[in-house]
Each structure stands twice: as C-alpha cells, then as structure tokens.
Chain A
Amino acid sequence: MAFTSSLDTAASPRGVEGRAITGAGASRGSFLRSLRTFLPVVPFVAYVALGLGIPTYIIATLAFQTRAGQFTLHNIKVITSGGQYLLGFETSIKLAFVTALIPGIVGTILAYSIAQSNHEAFKRVLAAASGVLANFGGVNLAFMFVASLGPAGIATAWLSHLHANPYNHGWTLYKFTGVALVYVYFQVPLMVLIITPALNGLRAQWREAASNLGASKWQYWRYVGVPVLTPPVLGSMFLLFGSGFSAYATAEALTGGTFALTPIQIGSILQGNVISGQENVGYALGLGMIVILLASVVGYALLQRRTSKWLRA
C-alpha cells in the first residue's frame, strides 16, 4: 500500500545511517531514534485509526456475517446478483462520474477566471463563497432548487414565459439530470477550492519564457499549461467523484428517498424502512462503496505523486 511504502522511505535514511556505523547496537539505537521521531505523530495516527479504521473494519466484518454473527457470503451475493442494489451502484457511479467530470472542467475554468482577476475584494468574496458552498448541501440545497426549478419554481415560471418549460419536455428535477444539476451546486465550489492552489502554481515565468520563445497563447496552453495542470485537475476530479458518490442528504431530501442511489438504499435499510433482517445487506452495500472509493483514492495518490514533482520544484 501507498502508506507503508512512504513510511518506509521516510524511515530508511536513518536506517541506512545506522547500518553504516555497523553493529547491532547502533541499529537498535537508530530504531529507538526513529521511534522517537515518530512519537509526536502517534496521537494523530491513533485518532485516525480509532475514528476511521475501526468503524471501517467493523463494517467490513459485518458485511460477511448473518444477523446472528455467523460467517456468510449471502449479503455479498444479494448485492452483486443484479436487481435494485446493482442498479443503485450503477446510478451512483454514473452520477458521481458526471458530477466529477463536468464540474471539474467548469470549476477549473471558473477558478482560472477568478485567479486572473485584478480585483482583490472580488477574489476574496468568491473564495469565501466557494468555501461555504462546498460544504452546503442537504435539505437547504434541495429546497433551494425545488423553489427555483421545481414544477412551481420561479425559474420554471420564467422558462415557461419563454415557452421553454422543461416539464413539458419530460424533464424533471427529481430524476438523474435534475439531481446531477443540484450536485453541481456544491461540486463546482469544491473544485474551485481544491484547484486554486494548483492554478497559483502556474508560474508567470513559464508564460514569459514561452512568449519569449515565440509561442502563441494557444501554444502556451497546448504545451505548457494543459500538461502541467492535467494531473492536479484529474486528481481533484477523483475527489469530486468521492464527494458525489457519498453524498446522501441532498438526494434524500430532494427525492424523498425514492431515487435509487446506494447511500439512499443504505439509509432506508438501516432506518428500518425495508423488511427487517436486512441490516447486514446494508453493511455489505457500505463495504461496496468503500471498495469503489478506495480505488479512486489510489488513483488520486498516484496522480498526486506526479503533480508534486512539478509544483514543488
């Protein structure tokens, strides 16, 4: 795993030093020294292990148990053998993918437009707004969209004045595209928040160097800007994927729990809205989400490694 390998490289120079001095005593000394070096980060690591590791481990074990606590593969079979749960995963992944890709691109363009501005006050107001909106969601957000694009919403009324009422064309706020449109409301600010440091990392010197060498604006973007920004943009999109995939409150409040997303299914199983005795299927669904998201974290970590080479040089 990525953690252990990084830990190894972090510890190794001391280890090598110790061995160079020769003798078991010296290497034990270096072991103690590295133990002392890592001691101050122990509370942090312990907190994460307790607050994140143990709950995750419990979910993973419960996914393989019956209600009575015996080992079983039944839950995994239930969620992987087609039907509503597989559909839930499919819709969730699709929704997370769409609301990572489009807000990722839009957010980057928006963040660049903001970063290029010369008005400091304007930048400050928008930076604050993206910080707040990235954490916004749930009932309030759902309600704002019902009030604007719901069947009786204000924007719907405006559109129907223009003879373009989307409800006459089969569109509704409560299905896939509607929910995706609502997710954009927190995904774009989240993207602006995470990508801005990378945009600030685009050095003015690179642009000057390119233009001194006779490159056009297009060539600058084609050969410098886009290649440098691609890893951080993709990395941030992985985060957006994670955030869209685990979002629960917004879709729950918007559709009243009727939209088949995995988090909503987990919620309704665990709140007893489904036949009892299914709790462990809920845990299996949770495990499924963790597996999918872990894959995206590994992708993120790999991209992060490539990016940092550029931005920290």
Chain B
Amino acid sequence: MTQAEIGDYFLAERLTSPPPREARPTTPRRRRRPRFGRGIVLAIAALYFLVPLYAAMDFSLKNIQGHFSLSPLTQIAAQPGFGAAVGLSFRLSIVTLVIEMLLMVPTVIYVHLRLPRFRRVMEVITILPIVIPPIVLILGVLQAVRPYQWISSSPYLLAVVYVVLAMPFVYRSLDSGLGALDLKTLVEASRSLGSGWISTMWRVLIPNLRSALLSASVLTLALVFGEFTMAQLDLWTTVPVWIYNSSSNNPHVVTAVAMMFLIAMWLVLTIIVSLDRTHRRTKGQTS
C-alpha cells in the first residue's frame, strides 16, 4: 500500500462511517435502552428477594381462616425465654460495640494520619475474619479458654469474638469515611488552635465521622443479633439460638419475630444512610 492509498483508505472510512453529529439525536433512544434493561434486572432481583419475605409474612400472619391478623406480633413478648434472649443479645451488642470502637477508631485514624503504608496490612488482616470459618474460630476459642473457668463461663466471651467478626465491616466503613475527609488539615487546624489529642478526636474527628461510625455500628448490631453458629456452640441462648430452639413449638410467632428483626434493621440502616446523604448535601451547599 502506498501512502496515497492509505490516505484514501482512511478517507473512505471516514466517508462511509456516519459523521458524529448525526449520532447525537439518537442518544436519547440509546439512553432509554439500558434503562429498560436495568428495569428487568431490578424486577428479577425484586422478585427473588421479595417472594421469600412475602411467603414468611404470609405464613406467620395468616390465621386458619386465611385472613391476615397481627395477633402473632402481640404474642411475641409472651413467649418463654424471649425476653431473656433479647436482653442477652442486647448486652452482647453493647459490649461488642464498645470494644470494637475503642479498638478500631483510634487505630484506623492513626494509620490514616501517620502510617498510610500500614493500610494494606490492615486491609489483609481485616479480611481474615471473613475467611476463618466462625465454626472453626469458636472451637479454637473454646479450647483456648478451657483452663480459665471465669472466662469460659462468661457470655461476654462471645462479645470478644464478635469484635473480631465485625472487624471487616467496621474497618471498611471507617476507612472509606476517613478517606473522604481532609484528615491532615482537620487535625493540624485543631492542634494549632491548641486542642490536645483527646479533644481533637472527640470534638473534630468523631463528629466528622458520624455517618461512618453509625453505619459501622449498625452493621455490628446486625451481626451480633444475627450470629447463630458461635452462640450455639458456646451454649448461650441469644435471639437466633432462641429462634432455632423454639421454631418447632410456635413457628408462626417465631417467624414473625424473625421478620420483625429483619425489617427493623433495614429501617434503621435506611435512616442512617439517609442521614449521611443529607449531611453531605448541606455541606456541599455551604462550601
């Protein structure tokens, strides 16, 4: 091919391919097609995720005559052992949250501020709890504390292990929350105005991390209130273990309990995610 021929070739191609201007009017149509596809994807997903929920609702709330009634919900509190199980799960979740935050918040802030190269190590370490199977982990823990009666007989041993389980979610949440802040400027400003580390943390960083902390907390709560394997092997009747044990006695009420917890968690998380958005938007307007 000579130079001229190559030139002709390109020219020909340019002539045969439609000029870009003409493509413009078709863009609205092009846009609509993926929206249609997206609709199908979301509809199938909705079907898959909602049918089992509906089935469980139907099962728990329909009485023998086939009418919906809310009476199973009113019976929940009267179930034997339910109050104790909720109390235990609640106390475990508080202890887990406190240890988790005291351990992770200062560490992650420090790593972001002073030791960014340690972040990759943290990423890998905080993945480990996902991949060490809970059933294996709890066996090892029970073996480890076997000689120490006062630890192995305490329900709070579970909280100590839940801290490890919640680490992946909490770390990721804090990491992305801190990534969105101009951490160095905030800390330098606070320090140069004369505040110490504690008040910098408490009055500057924590308020700025509010949404990350909230979502980390809720994911931790969801985990503690949903964890079954470890609680069962450690022989403590938390809410999921109670559900498992009493599902044969009164399946309708127990299913109602399970659904209530699921919906409550979902509502709380939705509110928290919304708080995050409104916060960000007002910030955008003022700046």
Contact = CB atoms under 8 A, between A and B. Distances in A.
Is B truly associated with A?
yes
A107 to B, nearest CB: 10
Chain A interface: which size bin? 35 or more
Contacts of A59: 136, 139-140, 143
A268 B277 CA distance: 46
Contacts of A140: 56, 240, 243, 255, 258-259, 261-262
Interface in A122-137: 124-125, 127-129, 131-133, 135-137
Contacts of A133: 49
B266 A40 contact: no
Contact of B163 (A51, A110, A286): A51
A44 B51 contact: no
Contact of A139 (B38, B132, B247): B247
Given A139-B258, A140-B262, A185 B130 contact: no
B135 A263 contact: yes
B258 A3 contact: no
Contacts of A296: 131
A10 B103 contact: no
Nearest to B274: A124
Contact of A148 (B51, B176, B272): B51
Given A43-B107, A248-B134, A289-B133, A9 B117 contact: yes
Contact of B130 (A239, A267, A294): A239
B21 interface: no
A157 B22 CA distance: 53
Contacts of A289: 133, 136
B139 A249 contact: no
A58 B140 contact: yes
Given A52-B164, A144-B55, A297 B247 contact: no
> SS class of chain A's interface: helix, strand, loop or mixed?
helix
Contact of A138 (B104, B141, B176, B226): B226
Chain B interface: which size bin? 35 or more
Contacts of A155: 51-52, 55
B125 A48 contact: yes
Interface string B111-145: 10011011011111101111111111111110110
A117 B38 CA distance: 9
Contacts of B229: 138, 248-249, 267
Interface string A249-279: 1000100000000010011001100000000
Interface string A141-173: 001110111000111000000000000000000
A41 B265 CA distance: 32
Contacts of A47: 103, 163-164
Given A7-B121, A242-B131, A301-B124, A154 B270 contact: no
B9 interface: no
A246 interface: yes
Given A41-B107, A144-B53, 12 more contacts: A56-B132, A59-B143, A114-B42, A132-B265, A139-B247, A140-B262, A143-B247, A188-B45, A248-B229, A249-B240, A286-B133, A301-B127
- List the 7 closest pairs (A to B, CB-CB), nearest first: A55-B140, A246-B133, A148-B55, A128-B269, A10-B117, A140-B258, A286-B136
29 contacts: A38-B118, A40-B110, A45-B125, A47-B103, A48-B164, A51-B141, A52-B129, A58-B140, A59-B136, A124-B274, A135-B226, A138-B244, A139-B243, A139-B258, A140-B255, A140-B262, A143-B247, A144-B55, A147-B56, A148-B55, A185-B49, A243-B130, A248-B229, A286-B133, A293-B131, A294-B131, A297-B127, A304-B123, A305-B120
